[in-house]
Chains A and B, each alone.
Chain A
Amino acid sequence: MKIRIPVILLACGSFNPITNMHMRLFELARDHLHRTGRYEVIEGIMSPVNDDYGKKGLVSARHRIAMAKLALETSDWIRVDPWESEQKTWTETVKVLRHHYKESLRSLQSKKELIENKQPIERSAEDSISYQHSVLPELKLLCGADFLQTFKTPNLWKEEHIKEIVEKFGLVCISRVGSDPAQYISESDLLTTFQHNIFLVKEWIQNEISATQIRHALCRGLSVKYLVPDSVISYIAHHNIYTEESEQKNEGDLLRPLKLQNTTVNPLND
């Protein structure tokens, strides 16, 4: 029996709000990894960013988590995780990856103990197989092609973090027809070195639902039905989440990661 490596997909982002496109990324990534024959995607995790990120128009994490929960109610493998949003400050993506990887090992360990503690007669065939062949899961960062491009933005990422992400974890990068992430990878020595761990998935069925445009439409009273789940639309209406006011939040502020980089770079600057 050919053993496939279990994979957990982690998507970080604002999810402000969550849209059908966000959820579609997971489906595409799963299909792609399964088609390689080498992986089995066992879980999808959506990790909304901390309020401290300071992006313009970012509404409270409490709402963003609630909306994601509603949207993912009907999914049997994708869930939203509040850990990142509950930290005191903004957390670098690599740290979020490390946290969830540790968690996945922990849950694997407790599963093993559960099976061990069962009397042999209680163990199912499934238990035996998963116990003997327990392969360590891999955690991969799920993203769009534009995310890959942000590696280039000055001071946004630490070089050693990018390296750890592509070396230790891996990327599943969804791009649309017309964009060419392969070219971008070839232009970066670091990414080229670890290209075996960067999975490029093409979305042939274009479905670009920008959360920014969703928010603008909502502010103007336009319909977003069929772009965002009905349950999320009701929640937004009920709590009056997106308004002209909410869109002005953090206006003029620097993103947290840029603020941090600026303070650590060159203290001798006169």
Chain B
Amino acid sequence: DPDKKTEVVLLACGSFNPITNVHLRLFELAKDYLHETGKYKVIKGIISPVGDAYKKKGLISASHRVTMAKLATKSSDWVEVDDWESSQSEWLETLKVLRYHHQKLQSPDATNSLQSVTPLTKPGRKRKQEPNRHEPVKKKSQSPDVKSVPQVKLLCGSDMLESFGIPNLWKLEDITEIVENHGLVCIIRAGNNVQKFIYESDILWRHKNNIHLVEDWVTNDISSTKIRRALRRGQSIRYLVPDVVQAYIEKNNLYSPESEDRNAGVVLAPLQKHTSDSKN
């Protein structure tokens, strides 16, 4: 039925170190864009801060990052923070987080164990209801204008998309499954290279219909790195991050030259993992 809209959940993974107005804007832009196509209905936004085990330089404790994100999303009626990823003891591939949230949508009472996060069959639009012993019968009644299965799409900026090209950072099969089974909503700035990047990748090109590029009409360059730099230099970050986040950072004196040195010289978890995997 072409009039039925697909329900979408937007999932943003990242350090959020700290969360900024730009992070929050990604959701608003993505939602507006998807709604304007007439084909989607965005029902939820999820911010999933990465775990400390990611070992990125300057990454402060997940509990602070999660708290700040929660403070920042208090005023939103559809974007929330999920700390499942950050509470795992080991770093998790983004695909696993996507699968987890997708599964959670299917069966809200599924256990939160890693074992249940198995690859799903491709959710085609006209899929017959296959008997699947991992999924309970869907009990929820659906509104007439909505298609059966909500999709979880990865929301990101062009930097994440382009990071697909960094050697050993992503597994090829992960990228494939992300764009094939889930989809990407990527917020870009005018005059960027993302389209060229997609063109030059066979996998991305094949699934380009599932990669939504959304142009930001504001020239915004509020990166967390710049925020942390400003804080180290005693400069104001007001109006770049929500007031509550600025107050929290100030009260807890979160960012300093010392905090920026955390994990200095440590190999990033995905790089560590892929190098040791290939060694085995």
Which residues on A are within 8 Å of B, measured CB to CB? 20-21, 23-24, 27-28, 30-31, 74-75, 204-210, 213, 217, 222-223, 225-227, 230
Contact = CB atoms under 8 A, between A and B. Distances in A.
Q: Residue among B24, B29, B238 with the most chain A CB within 10 A?
A: B238
Given A27-B239, A205-B230, A227 B25 contact: yes
A206 B24 contact: no
Interface centre among A28, A31, A225 (most CB of B within 10 A): A225
A207 B226 CA distance: 12
A30 B240 contact: no
B230 A30 contact: no
B28 interface: yes
Contacts of B217: 213, 217
B28 A223 contact: yes
Given A223-B28, A223-B31, A209 B221 contact: no
A219 B230 CA distance: 35
A24 B28 contact: no
B75 A230 contact: yes
Contacts, number: 66
A74 B25 contact: no
Contacts of B243: 74
B236 A28 contact: yes
Given A205-B230, A208-B218, A209-B218, A31 B31 contact: no
Nearest to B219: A208
A230 B239 CA distance: 12
Contacts of A208: 218-220
B236 A205 contact: no
Interface of B: 21-22, 24-25, 28-29, 31-32, 75-76, 217-223, 226-227, 230, 234-236, 238-240, 242-243
21 contacts: A20-B21, A21-B239, A27-B238, A27-B239, A30-B236, A31-B235, A74-B243, A204-B226, A205-B222, A205-B223, A206-B220, A207-B218, A207-B220, A207-B221, A207-B240, A210-B218, A222-B32, A223-B28, A226-B22, A227-B25, A227-B218
A31 B223 CA distance: 19
Contacts of A207: 218-222, 239-240
A20 B239 contact: yes
Contact of B25 (A31, A206, A226): A226
Contacts of A210: 218
A209 B22 CA distance: 12
B234 to A, nearest CB: 8
Contacts of A30: 236
B24 A225 contact: yes
Contacts of A20: 21, 239-240
B23 to A, nearest CB: 9
B34 to A, nearest CB: 12
Contacts of A223: 28-29, 31-32
Contacts of A206: 219-222
A226 B235 contact: no
Contacts of B240: 20, 24, 205, 207
Given A30-B236, A205-B221, A206-B220, A226 B28 contact: yes
A142 to B, nearest CB: 14
Q: Closest 4 A-B residue pairs measured CB to CB?
A: A206-B221, A223-B28, A27-B236, A20-B239
Contacts of B221: 205-207
A68 to B, nearest CB: 14
A93 B234 CA distance: 33
A205 B239 contact: no
B47 to A, nearest CB: 13
A198 B238 CA distance: 24
Nearest to A206: B221
Contacts of A225: 24-25, 28, 76
Contact of A24 (B24, B76, B238): B238
